[in-house]
Amino acid sequence: MTPDMASLVESDRVAGSLYTDPALFEQEMDRIFHRTWVWVAHESEIAKAGDFKTAWVGRRPVIVTRDRRGGINVLLNRCRHRGASVCETPKGNGNGFTCPYHAWSYALDGTLRGIPYPEGYEDVVEKKDLPLLKLRAGTYAGMIFASFDPDIEPLEDFLGGARLWIDRFMKQGAGYPIKVQGEHRFRFNGNWKIQLENTTDWYHFPIVHRSWMSSVDAETASMLSIMTDETAVTHALGNGHSVSISVAEHADLDVDDGTEKLQDRFGHIAEELSKDMPPEKVRRIVRSLHGAGFNLNLFPNVAMSMAFFRVLRPLSVGETEIRHVALGLDGGPEIVNRERLRIHEHFQGPFGFGSPDDAEAWNRVQRGVAGGAEMPILVNRGLGREKPNDLGQATSHATDETGMREAYAMWKRMMTDAE
Ligand code: FES
Ligand code: FE
């Protein structure tokens, strides 16, 4: 039986079955992941002609390529003959893809190039009719998105109010473009929306991340003060997107203030850089080590958080893969990129002080909800203190659940529009 979608999401709560109902999960793949823009890569991952990486749109495997003319292609990773995946290498560089089953071969733009022993195909197959299925692809500020819907709205419209924040996020390169330095993946036993909620959930931070805070003395006080800091706010950006600003003085990288703590903390790096850089540039680069000062949630599958991307892939109603992508400065000083990786590992790494604690909390949400799926999940924190900002966006304190309400409003729109 199809549940009544509209009744599952209210302004202050969502049904527990959103995490546990396998039929709903199938509908989410169809109505959300296969119809909207889904993040698949950053341009630095396929910088050169011939570069490719594999990714997922919902549960469908895709290949993101840079073809010989410099074009970006997102191709369904499924042979047009009898369906085998044509590429299982996560990343690489090559001329195209050869299916392992009967060796049909495809160019980087998906064109079917060759069929071995073609005699049996005379008058049956025209190669030009059987390219790898090509998704709609779009880029914004180096972020590559794809959609199975050929008639989808332009990417810029979909990103809407989030574009300002994407632009700001990219400024953390201190004049250098942002590049992907590496990634690690892990899975947790929970629904994908538990992670979606988490990106703008500063309420959990001083609780779940207490061990991390006690490991970084200089940061402890500032992160605890988020509970009472009035400049820490969340804006609902429309279309399910939201941004939570944790350190307001770092949120706008054009403004050079409030960075003294960082200059002290990374004094050893400043000293090294000062050997062949002017003081202003050193200051900007040191400031960039902290990342962006905010978490941006792009519905449905990517977060741009401080100095990394967090990408989610739904595997089943109760299992999700997370990919943590560490960002560096393309062409920037080696010492800075190394330090960024160390900071990343300290929190996000598999043995870090942050992510394993998040994953434990998410597993427990799934276990708890499974034991009482008929009870609602509350997303009402701060409902009474939400106000419009200058742009008319709902705004509240960063520890409030404004971002979750925005994501669930979009969820509801997409799930019911398709009915
Ligand atoms: Fe790919 Fe046969 S399934 S060539
Ligand atoms: Fe967390």
Q: Ligand 1 center to residue 79 CA distance, Å?
A: 6
Structural domain contains residue 135: yes
Ligand 1, atom 4: closest residue by C-alpha: 102
Distance of alpha carbon 148 from alpha carbon 109, whole angstroms:
16
Co-location of 94 and 168 in the same domain: no
Residue 130's SS3 state is coil
Residues 6+ apart with CB under 8 A from 284: 174, 175, 256
* Total-model pTM: 0.95
Co-location of 220 and 359 in the same domain: yes
Co-location of 136 and 244 in the same domain: no
Q: Is 348:354 a contact under the CB 8 Å cutoff?
A: yes
C-beta 104 within 6 A of ligand 1:
yes
Structural domain contains residue 16: no
Which pLDDT value is given to residue 194? Answer: 97
Which pLDDT value is given to residue 212? Answer: 82
Q: Which two tokens stand for residue 347?
A: 């929190």
Co-location of 138 and 218 in the same domain: no
Structural domain contains residue 24: no
What stretches in the chain show pLDDT beneath 70? 1-3, 217-224, 253-259, 418-419
Co-location of 125 and 231 in the same domain: no
Instruction: Report the greatest alpha carbon distance in the chain.
Output: 74
**Pick from 21, 16, 30: nearest CA to 1:** 21
334: number of Cβ within 10 Å = 10
Q: Which of 81, 110, 142 is the last residue of a domain?
A: 142
Question: What CATH number should be reported for the domain holding residue 112?
Answer: 2.102.10.10
Residue 241's SS3 state is strand
Single-letter residue type at 22: P
Q: Which two tokens stand for residue 207?
A: 């609780």
Co-location of 111 and 216 in the same domain: no
Co-location of 83 and 218 in the same domain: no
Q: Is 354:347 a contact under the CB 8 Å cutoff?
A: yes
Q: Is 78:133 a contact under the CB 8 Å cutoff?
A: yes
Q: Which two tokens stand for residue 160?
A: 């809407």
Question: What CATH number should be reported for the domain holding residue 413?
Answer: 3.90.380.10
Co-location of 79 and 189 in the same domain: no
Match 């692809």 to its residue by tokens.
Answer: 137
Co-location of 126 and 180 in the same domain: no
Co-location of 241 and 102 in the same domain: no
Co-location of 83 and 185 in the same domain: no
Question: Ligand nearest 202 Cα, by number?
Answer: 2
Q: Ligand 2 center to residue 326 CA distance, Å?
A: 16
Q: Which two tokens stand for residue 164?
A: 């300002």
Element (H, E) at 229: none
Tell me the residue range of the domain where 100 lies: 38-142
User: How many domains does the chain contain in total?
Assistant: 2
Q: Ligand 1 center to residue 118 CA distance, Å?
A: 13
Q: Which of 92, 113, 142 is the last residue of a domain?
A: 142
116: number of Cβ within 10 Å = 9
Q: Ligand 1 center to residue 172 CA distance, Å?
A: 45
Co-location of 65 and 182 in the same domain: no
Q: Which of 142, 177, 199 is the last residue of a domain?
A: 142
Instruction: Kindly list the protein residues that place their beta carbon closer than 5 angstroms to ligand 2, a single-atom ion.
Output: 358
Q: Is 148:35 a contact under the CB 8 Å cutoff?
A: yes
Which pLDDT value is given to residue 24? Answer: 97
